[in-house]
Amino acid sequence: MPKTASKTIRHLFTGAAFAALAMSVSPIVFAQDASLETVIDAFETLSREGDPDAMAKEAGTSPKKWSSVTPAYYADRASKAEALLATLDGLRNQGDGPESTILRHLLKAEINAHAFDNARIPFTGDSGFYTWPTYSAMRTRANSKDKAEAWIARLNDLPRYFDEQKANMRRGIDSGWTQHSDPLATAIEQIKAQIKTDPTKSTLFMPFESLSASSLSESEIDVLKQQGAAAVSRAMMAYEKLLAFMETEYAPAARANPGIASMEGGQSAYAMFVAHHTAGAGLTPEDIHEVGKTEVARIRAQMETIIEEVEFDGTFEEFQTFLRTDPQFYSTTPEDLLEKAAEMSKRLDALLPRYFGKLPRLPYGVEAVPPAIAPGYTTGRYSGGDQEKGIAGTYLVNTYALDQRPLYELPALSAHEAVPGHHLQISLAQELEDMPEFRKSYYTTTFGEGWGLYAEKLAGEAGFYRTPYERFGQLSYEMWRACRLVSDTGLHHYNWSREKAEECFIKNTALAPLNIQTEVTRYIGWPGQATAYKVGELKILELRAAAKEALGEAFDIRDFHDVLLGAGSMPLDALEARIMAWVEGEQHGTESTE
């Protein structure tokens, strides 16, 4: 799962269907002859003015604030989104292309986020508003006086930002919409880990390490670092106050049931979350639950075949125990795990020209997940880069609890997070030309994560997995996503217990126990998101099969992938229309258009 370059993945459940929103904007007024272009311009203006990073980038400066997350702001956003949507729906002969489809998805997400007041639960357990400053610090190079002072100003804005989030959570307490205790416990541990007595040991101080004597004097650097350390110390005080709030005020009000099905309006909210994350799939929670059960049975049969291949003398459960406990499958040092991930990534790089005609210019690196957030963090993630800022993409590998990070899963993880997965997909989108800006940064879960899961399978087709155990690891990862369909809908639609939600993973995957616990906690805290991976992958495979059947020997996998990724992320219905238009163009010898 990625973090994009200029915008984090939008947690609909966290009240951030658009990114950090910093200020109110003027009313949107359209002439009667409004066109799609005027709607796009208005939407991009609205998005930019609400995003401190985007505003600073446009102005050629650095952001000095975090988002505004007040109820008044979200109400203003929703009102403007409704006006935009009404105008878009009123356009003649301009409402069926990908821009219109994506705009509708984004605008409806904004409207729904306000209608369900998603800002009441601004964290998932996997991450939340308190981890975003860490990500920003990792991506900030304060290599000039202006940039250093901007980062100091942003650090000084953290107390205001946290106070607004706490006000939203208090509204959640009052209305009975709170997070479950398990994601909350993870959040509390992540907050604790970010509190440092020595401010220079905090991740938030990292940007000041970029100060260079080539542009500043030593005395200027010393002064900026002193001011930076003081700002980080003030930020630490904000984290301490947040921790106290979480432990003494929020924890007693945490919801009792892991799923939201039992909460007032919970099932309706979950159906909306599923529709958002599986954009364009048209599936209900009941549909997704059944697809999950079918996929679990299919993948389990393939796993049994590999067990026979390695001539393992024992049951499926005994094979799971073997994989989870044999030392040959685990690194003993963080450095070894990172080195293996880097070696695998380079081997994946070499496979790309066989499957893609167009490759991104931006490189990527392999780094460890920051220790401050690693204990409750997912096993790996991609963080997008920025060509203009000179920041490479980053494949983050969790080196915490090495006995829970099996090496037979690492190849599939690398294919998903690096290439041909998220780095390839997101970097190509960032480099698109002659396309509205919102489409370059747009990320719908079912496309992005569907592609990531498809990338794992594609790596297998390319012969990347060297041993039967690595092939089993890939199937285990695929089973993981199939079980998500069953467990996520079970939790939030059918009101399952945590124990029942864990059963599918325990019985059918080789995932380490800690990974299972961390992941189910994530599903509890982030309803609907986990269903998007398998839904998206199945649609991509369906489209590839349809294109191959229609084109026969003329089918070229490189062309298919270039078309699929060539217009950025989009809802599945828009993706299907794009692929079918390409197929028709290939059949008639004409160039397809969107």
- pLDDT tens for 506-554 read 999 999 898 899 999 999 999 999 999 999 999 999 999 999 999 999 9
Q: 563 in a domain, yes or no?
A: no
Report the 10 Å Cβ neighbour count for 587.
Answer: 12
Angle of helix 410-417 versus helix 445-461 axis, rounded to 10: 130
Q: Higher-confidence residue: 94 or 148?
A: 148
Dihedral in degrees, nearest 10, Cα atoms 60, 65, 70, 74: 20
Instruction: Determine phi and psi for 91, rounding to 5 degrees.
Output: -75, 145
Same domain, 418 and 495: yes
Banded pLDDT at 19 (limits 50, 70, 90): very low
Last residue of a domain, one of 500, 516, 534: 534
Strand-by-strand arrangement of the 393-397 sheet: 2-3, 380-383, 393-397, 364-368
Q: 547 in a domain, yes or no?
A: no
Same domain, 375 and 510: yes
What pLDDT shows up at residue 582? 97
Banded pLDDT at 5 (limits 50, 70, 90): very low
Banded pLDDT at 589 (limits 50, 70, 90): confident
Same domain, 113 and 141: no
Res. 14: pLDDT tops 60: no
Banded pLDDT at 11 (limits 50, 70, 90): very low
What pLDDT shows up at residue 3? 54
Work out how many domains the chain is built from and give that number.
3
Angle among Cα 427, 436, 56 to the nearest 5 degrees reads: 75
Same domain, 14 and 54: yes
Angle among Cα 236, 238, 243 to the nearest 5 degrees reads: 95
Q: 565 in a domain, yes or no?
A: no
Same domain, 64 and 113: yes
Provide mean pLDDT across the span 229-236.
98
Same domain, 311 and 377: yes
Task: Describe the chain by its helix, strand, coil percentages, rounded to 5.
Answer: 65, 5, 30
What pLDDT shows up at residue 214? 75
What pLDDT shows up at residue 145? 94
Same domain, 133 and 117: no
Domain encompassing residue 41:
1-122
- pLDDT tens for 30-56 read 545 688 999 999 999 888 877 898 899
Res. 576: pLDDT tops 80: yes
Question: How far apart are the C-alpha atoms of 240 and 246, rounded to whole Å?
Answer: 10
Last residue of a domain, one of 87, 107, 122: 122
What pLDDT shows up at residue 63? 96
Same domain, 129 and 253: yes
Q: 558 in a domain, yes or no?
A: no
Same domain, 115 and 15: yes
Same domain, 155 and 244: yes
Same domain, 65 and 183: no
Last residue of a domain, one of 80, 96, 122: 122
Banded pLDDT at 388 (limits 50, 70, 90): confident
Provide mean pLDDT across the span 56-82.
93
Banded pLDDT at 94 (limits 50, 70, 90): low
Same domain, 285 and 206: no
Contact 181, 251 (CB under 8 A): yes
Q: Higher-confidence residue: 35 or 484?
A: 484
List the single range of 84-98, 330-344, 442-456, 536-550 with lowest mean pLDDT. Answer: 84-98
Res. 322: pLDDT tops 60: yes
What pLDDT shows up at residue 591? 61
Query: Given phi > 0 = left and psi -120 to 50 = alpha, else beta, which region is 527?
Result: beta
Q: 76 in a domain, yes or no?
A: yes
What pLDDT shows up at residue 32? 55
Q: 20 in a domain, yes or no?
A: yes
List the single range of 45-49, 441-445, 513-517, 572-576 with lowest mean pLDDT. Answer: 45-49
Banded pLDDT at 6 (limits 50, 70, 90): very low
Contact 368, 338 (CB under 8 A): yes
Q: 580 in a domain, yes or no?
A: no
- pLDDT tens for 114-142 read 999 999 999 998 889 999 999 899 889 89
The percent of residues in the chain predicted with pLDDT above 90, rounded, is 82
What pLDDT shows up at residue 594? 53
Q: 492 in a domain, yes or no?
A: yes
